[in-house]
Homo-oligomer: A and B are copies of this chain.
Amino acid sequence: MKKIAVLTSGGDSPGMNACIANLFTLCNRKNITLLGVRKGYVGLVENDFITLSQEHINNVYNLGGSFLKTGRSEEFLKESGKQKAIKNLKEQGIEVLVVIGGDGSFRGAQELSEKGIKIICLPGTIDNDLDYTEKSLGFDTAVNNCVSAIDKIKDTMLSNNRGVVVEVMGRRSGDIALYTATASNADAVVVKEVPGSKDNILEKVKLAISRGVESPTVVVGEYILDVNVLASELTQSTDKLFKPMILGYIQRGGNPTVFDRNYAMELAVKTIELIEGGIFNRAIGLKEGKIYDTELKTVLFKEDNFNYELYNLFQKLNS
């Protein structure tokens, strides 16, 4: 193995930089050249590669985002784009492409693999919405960001005896909402995976108030309901003012947590092990808390591995 490339694609997630840095360190140990593709698949199509050196990674280990930048390429979605990408990869002499991203990025990678490119996929998304892995890189940081934000918000809510309805990210997955709700001692959580969860919010909030909770907190996953409307409804149905709050992009940035940095390292080590073992077209992830790899083409958007156990614990505390 002489030359591999890495790209970050889709939404950025904290830990991507640490993962690239660890890949570089390992390649460097083994005299493999590591190229960085800029802007995800955009750079692949546009032949935008840089040869990584120690200098690139000296200052980025602890930073959120991706110093290679991520991107979404319209052109890559077309056959012509993919052919350009393949041509560029070949002309650069790249033997393996490492893709860090979410399910859209994985689909692109899968298509390249079908056309003969050797691929390793790493789960880089805060949304935790890939079915084959218990955690994706950046998820832990995102939830910690959400919870820190709610800590601040509650300084105000507690001072005013108000309630709050907080919308968090996660796309089709309720994991950010669930972990945020449990860790911020919320009183209700609304997630896509449990359609009924949006029906008994008022009941749960009233229960909390009856028990002396001064600032009832409802955490809601995105794309489910309008938090402004919900806050109004709760205000009208209780004797408390409820404020809506959409956390937005503050939850995606910032320095990665220890979990995400160490996960980034483990992903990088496993990547190089697979490559050295001649094993390709794999996605790496976590299963029962351990790093493992699985066939890339079997990986799907997560449908059914929502953490019902944690969800049920939360219900137990709030019923």
Contact = CB atoms under 8 A, between A and B. Distances in A.
Interface stretch (A21-29, A75-83, A87-95): A21-29
A14 B153 CA distance: 12
Contact of A313 (B59, B183, B266): B266
A153 B69 contact: no
Contacts of A266: 313
A288 B26 CA distance: 28
Contacts of A108: none
A145 B149 CA distance: 10
B148 A255 contact: yes
A126 B196 CA distance: 39
Interface residues of A, number: 84
A110 interface: no
Given A249-B156, A249-B157, A147 B261 contact: yes
Nearest to A246: B246
Contacts of A161: 39, 69, 71
Interface string A241-275: 00101111110111101110110011001000000
A214 interface: yes
Contact of A147 (B67, B258, B265, B269): B258
A21 B153 contact: no
B249 A159 contact: no
A195 interface: no
Contacts of A248: 153, 243, 245-246
Contacts of A185: 18, 21-22, 61-62, 261
A194 interface: no
Nearest to A139: B258
Given A58-B213, A161-B71, A211-B54, A63 B155 contact: yes
List 8 tightest A-B contacts by C-beta distance, closest first.
A155-B253, A54-B212, A152-B253, A65-B155, A64-B155, A12-B159, A65-B159, A289-B289
9 contacts: A54-B211, A59-B67, A65-B156, A71-B160, A152-B253, A156-B253, A183-B261, A184-B261, A257-B257
